[in-house]
Structure 1
């Protein structure tokens, strides 16, 4: 029997088809089970491929919108893989212990992160050496404990938009909190899990390291592809906005120049009007002075001419009397 799908071949090589023992199973997983062999359920890898592709498309679409994803895997076989793949795609992760209220009571997580930041700042300060050795050991132990549990979520300011879980049965508290906060769950589930609690179930062997690595790599690659698409959209949007700003700045500069030109013309007109008014006022003042001086000269001339008339008259009278 030849297998055409490369994904099914890879899953088969990873041992993804091995489920739990037949006496440890959840009846709701029946639709994902191909059969049983030697007391172990065999998972239908065609269903695994189908649901894996659905989860991949969901995460790619989510990342293309700039959304954030939280990876959860605290079991020993999943810790290193979860941390590596989450850091590779730039997402949050929990790889040590699920802190109660991580999704339903995020404020308590923020307080723990603040205390971690204070301890780190104290250790780097100059006053750290002034503390007793016993106190310094206590600070270091507390800082190490907080860093171990909060390393992957210390920058998580808001709730994630999706949660990727390895073994939903082992991480049942995380699943419940995600359902309570209406966060979609993508989970790698085995034959002992409840698929009805998961939005995007991926039926496969959740104990095999190779299976966990293979599935996480596919999901992380999908997130990277979506994030790259989101970055491209953001860059084009920023480019368009910058062009709009440049156009607006140019038009505003033109408007300013035109306004300055108009204001200069108005200033010239106003200054010319002022000069004209000044000239008119000077002219009116001169005319007034001329009018005032004219009657004075007439009166002065009349006064001067009056005695001459009297003299002539007197001379004539003398002559008449002599005759």
Structure 2
């Protein structure tokens, strides 16, 4: 379970290290504990409380069957986000954010369908009828599409929420989410404006250990939500089977009596 966040674990992961004081955003003041050697230190008790708040909401989204899109294109976050999001069966963007990813989702879906059509060409043999030059072009297009959009290939509709690592780096994603009223969950460092985020997790968004720790906690709660959904579905199926069995038994009894 992702509940009862241990502050000691957050401390060991370096979640408390903010930016240099001269780079701070004054709106982060409520989440700052102190200043040490010119660096702001984040209040980890507030971080823990905010993680629990975010996790509760993320768990509900996952349990409802909707998707959370994870976004992190900075070097130290990419691999961690890709691994954690994939393990929780959620879509993610770790390459360049495609402009209009949310606001022009229809076009993005067309690009994903193009990828699927290339795969069909390869399966049904059409690909082999192309010239060597054409095959090379198609392969390059497929590789480019897969690199940028492969991780969202199963996202057939807009996500219910975004989870972002570093809202400064991903400001376009934040802007698009705002336009469509899609809630934003994010790791927010001391140099960023938390007012842009619906569920703020004040944390060091530059160190890989810190990112890994927060992402582990967040995706664990999503997995809990998915497990809850599966359990409910299994229960419904069992109840339906039991109902059918009862109906069948009653029908047999009636037929015997007649």
What TM-score comes out, normalization by structure 2 length?
0.91
Asked if 1:249 corresponds to 2:248, the answer is yes
Q: Name the structure where helix makes up a greater proportion of residues.
A: 1
Which runs of structure 2 are paired with 1:43-54 in the superposition (5 Å)?
A: 43-54=42-53
Q: Distance in 2 between the 1:52 and 1:232 partners?
A: 25
Asked if 1:175 corresponds to 2:170, the answer is no
Q: 1:131: which partner in 2?
A: 130
Q: Segments of 4+ in structure 1 off by > 6 A?
A: none
Asked if 1:66 corresponds to 2:65, the answer is yes
CA displacement at 1:221 relative to structure 2: 0.8
Pick the structure with greater CA Rg: 1
CA displacement at 1:65 relative to structure 2: 2.8
Which runs of structure 2 are paired with 1:66-85 in the superposition (5 Å)?
A: 66-85=65-84
CA displacement at 1:66 relative to structure 2: 2.7
Which runs of structure 2 are paired with 1:271-282 in the superposition (5 Å)?
A: none
CA displacement at 1:257 relative to structure 2: 6.3
Q: Distance in 2 between the 1:242 and 1:67 partners?
A: 26
Q: 1:97: which partner in 2?
A: 96
Q: Distance in 2 between the 1:64 and 1:27 partners?
A: 36
1:78 is paired with a residue whose SS is helix
* Two-structure CA RMSD over aligned residues (Å): 1.9
Q: 1:186: which partner in 2?
A: 185
Q: Distance in 1 between the 2:154 and 2:60 partners?
A: 23
Q: 1:199: which partner in 2?
A: 198
2:243 is paired with a residue whose SS is helix
Q: 1:15: which partner in 2?
A: 14
Which runs of structure 2 are paired with 1:201-280 in the superposition (5 Å)?
A: 201-254=200-253
Q: Distance in 1 between the 2:128 and 2:160 partners?
A: 43
Contact 2:5–2:52 (Cα < 8 Å) also in 1:
no
CA displacement at 1:6 relative to structure 2: 7.1
CA displacement at 1:18 relative to structure 2: 1.4
Aligned positions, number: 255
CA displacement at 1:76 relative to structure 2: 0.9
Gaps of 5+ in 1: 262-323
Q: Distance in 2 between the 1:144 and 1:224 partners?
A: 30
CA displacement at 1:252 relative to structure 2: 4.1
1:166-208 Cα offsets, whole Å, 9 max, x none, are 1111111111222222222110011121111211100111010
Gaps of 5+ in 2: none
CA displacement at 1:23 relative to structure 2: 2.1
Q: Distance in 2 between the 1:227 and 1:115 partners?
A: 30
Q: 1:145 to 1:33 in 2, by over 3 A?
A: same
Q: Distance in 2 between the 1:54 and 1:45 partners?
A: 14
CA displacement at 1:41 relative to structure 2: 1.5
Larger RCO (CA under 8 A, 6+ residues apart) = 2
Q: 1:129 to 1:240 in 2, by over 3 A?
A: closer
CA displacement at 1:101 relative to structure 2: 2.0
1:169 is paired with a residue whose SS is coil
Q: 1:117: which partner in 2?
A: 116
